[in-house]
Amino acid sequence: MSHRGKAGPVCSLKFVTLLVVLSAELLPLGAIVQLRDNGYDGLLIAIHPQVAEDQNLIPNIKEMITEASFYLFNATKKRVFFRNIKILIPATWEANNYIKVKQESYDKANVIVSDWHGAQGDDPYTLQYKGCGKEGKYIHFTSNFLLNDNLTAAYGSRGRAFVHEWAHFRWGVFDEYNNEKPLYINGQNQIETTRCSSDIAGTFICEKGPCPQENCIISNLFKDGCMFIYNSTQKATSSIMFMQSLSSVVEFCNASTHNQEAPNLQNQMCSLRSTWDVITDSADFNKSVPMDETELPPTPTFTLVQAAEKVVCLVLDVSSKMAEANRFLQLQQAAEFYLMQIAEMNTLVAIVSFDSKGEIRAQLHQIKNVDDRKLLVSFLPTTVSAEAKTSVCSGLKKGFEVVEKLNGKAAGSVIILVTTGDDERIDNCLPTVLSSGSTIHSIALGSSVARNLEELSHVTGGLKFFVPDKSSSTSITDAFSRISSGTGDIFQQSIQLISAGEVVEPHRQLKITVPVDNSVGNDTTFLVTWQTSDPPEIVLFDPDGRKYGASNFTNNPALHTARLLIPGTAKPGNWTYNLNNTHHSRQALKVTVSSRASSTTAHPATVEAYVERDSTHFPHPVMIYANVRKGFYPILNATVTATVEPETGEPVTLTLLDDGAGADIIKNDGIYSRYFFSFVINGRYSLKVHVYHSLKISTQGHFVPGSHAMYVPGYIANGNIQMNAPRKPVSRSEEEQWVFSRVSSGGSFSVLGVPTAPYPDVFPPCKIIDLEAAKSEDEVTLSWTAPGEDFDQGQATSYEVRMSKSLQSIQDDFDNAILVNTSQLNPQEAGLKEIFTFSPKLFTKGNEHQSDEESPESNRIYMAIRAMDRNSLKSAVSNIVQTSLFTSQNSAPVTARDGLILKGVLTALGLVGIICLSIIIAYYILSRKKRTAKKENGAKLL
């Protein structure tokens, strides 16, 4: 990594100090929710542009949050409440003196309101992808849920439903019900319904009404027409994560009420911990104390903001360093592509260039047609400056100046900042940046860019990108392609289908096949770029074999680009490129294809790539995610490849997986994940994700992933069955099969502390997160996905399985739990399924001391596993599973009624035995007395 100057630490200190002294009003806006004095500030609720305007929607949102605030305050024992909330009104709604947005946007919202709901109808849900105790991505409500009062019978009041989802989103707890496993066998070998707490009572009902439990269950599943209906009146006060709709439920399950046996996601993801245990371990609780007993939280304050015109300013570095490594040409090519294809219609665009000082090259100009786009392209800088010095602040100052000419403020505008300079004075303009209300997306070119450049993006809620000095890299075009208006309206946004580059030898060809699926096709553009003065020979074939040659493309010789816009809707199928390098020397040839949705009613397939954190320190890995979906539906069985480019060195590729193991928390949720730890150097790394889907395999999931508020089909009230209306059917096409390709930049991240290679093995196997246990007679079968030698790559060396009668013991002291013999268990390659069966007979021999929490008659055991690599590095302990210890060999699960009948029969038999024994004893005594009397009478006669 190149030298970054001696001023770095001093500037960093200045920057931190500056943030501390700035008022709370200047802190990052948008998605960052802060807890201050027990109150949450900065919660952002955004309404999708396609939601129809309704005068009741805003009041109902306010009412929901107000109720939720007091309910949450009591549920957390006077710990937290909602103080300040912003509601983002879409620009499609009529203006009503709403406050103009600053950095707020739909894409940054914590809570989204959209009518594109899933097969679960109007279920409120939270998209979770990081695991237990980790924050989710967003909470989703449909407008129908917020407007239709009839739905409160099935979900409970909206405020209660919001608290259920807030716990998912903020604290990373999971649902305590399970629609797929509504029943389980408890430790007493009885069939129970999956719930928490187990004190919540109800009745089995069949088609004609209440029925015995045994009439409703076959092989631990409900018969058709059967279900378990809960009483509307309960004594149980928990749990909010099970059934917040019950009026008695006002608490989260804690250690004393938590049902560890229930096969729900909370137990699986959080190793049998109660929701309250996870919540109290959160940063929110570590940084706050309960309010006074008599003190009540204030009523929430709401601010309504609305987006106005879309305003973008390109702030482009033209210092002499831009001439290095072809940076300036790449910038020109990417900026042209952005203006001609990516920027949405009706966007106001300005252009600023800078070296040591800024210059306005184009005032704000609105894009209404292709001529407007061409005009803006003509204002792009054409030469680099002779000056090496750069002043980012000077460029930003001119950027703010030009956008403020619209209405006197920069609030709500977007700055796309591209620079290669090592300007260490960025902190000088931070107050201006923070107070501007503008969002800054930063694109760093090369390895010498100042370290604190990305802070401009971080504090304004912008994206950040890195472009390595590699001729075949498409990172800068990918970065521009990722930047959208943030409105959430995917039908207006450009979608990148492919982005590829390669250094091609003289008179050699680059062949690329681009599948155009039927969900896209409008405004389809094929872009070819090259390095030298001689353009390549271009031949493009559509799916029907029609040929497009150089004469069909629009060339820009100065920028070395050729662009073809397909009129109307591009024909679905494979389009094939042939690029022939006619130059006498090797050069980088690149292809980018983008398109827009073919319909305003059917969602196109999309991919969103991101990392868990913006920076890491060696040896901690970075978790890479790609959310692949069509609307809100997950797309399954796709081939998802991440390409990571360091500042120097070759790119690293790895396949992302949706298998519910390793970095991937939930299987088949459309979020593909993987650990990245192939660090070669300190500095910035660029991320790009490519998704390809084959025609041969089914693609679309039948459900919307996430943690949902329970839909209650009905209640038992005063002995009467009161059924709710069934879920509203959702029209959707059958499972689709089609070929598609998508590309998306995942931005950049930075890594520090990387030692000089070669370094010793410091990467352990990853944590096993999908351990499951099944019991058969006196044996237990464990199953899990194999981890790797290094996280989720390679092959581990051995496994360590331990068990205990005490959950607390195995959680807190895994090393001292009973070790199971796994000498015959050899780990497989990462990603393969492992199965291990053993008999836990050690428990019958008193090998473990009885814990205080376990009664002598306890028959439950807890098990966990960890993996070890060849250098004895151990993974974290897996999720904990449990099962009952022993039952009679021929015993079968009994229902609660069967248990009562058996108990009655045994009691009756016992009473009969006692009566019989009493009669026998009485008869014996009476007979003995008679014999004695006869003897005495006989003696008298003698």
List, by residue number, the catalytic residues: 165
Strand partners, 784: 834
For residues 269 and 248, is the Cβ–Cβ distance under 8 A? Answer: no
- Alpha-carbon distance of 253 to 899, in angstroms, equals 27
d(Cα 29, Cα 88) in Å, to the nearest integer? 12
Residue with tokens 């390109």: 314
Please name the amino acid found at residue 638.
A
- Cα separation of 260 and 283, whole Å? 25
Determine the 3-state secondary structure of 703 from DSSP. coil
CB 656 within 8 A of CB 638: no
Burial category of 201 from C-beta neighbours within 10 Å (exposed 0-12, middle 13-18, buried 19 and up)? middle
**d(C-alpha 536, C-alpha 530), whole Å:** 7
CA atoms within 13 A on the CB side of 372: 16
3-state SS, one letter per residue, for 773-825: EEEECCEEEEEEECCCCEECECECCEEEEEEECCHHHHHHCHHHCEEECCCCC
Rg (CA), the chain: 33
**How far is the C-alpha of 810 from the C-alpha of 524, rounded, in Å?**
58
- Alpha-carbon span 497 to 646, nearest angstrom: 24
Q: Please name which of 810, 818, 866, 826 lies closest in space to residue 842, comparing C-alpha atoms.
A: 818
Q: CB of 389 within 8 A of CB of 321?
A: no
**Rounded to whole angstroms, how far apart are CA atoms 513 and 540?**
10
Reduced to 3 states (helix: H, G, I; strand: E, B; else coil), residue 60 is helix
Tokens 């943690």 sit on residue: 707
CA distance 579 to 559: 18
546: exposed, middle or buried (Cβ count in 10 Å: 0-12, 13-18, 19+): exposed
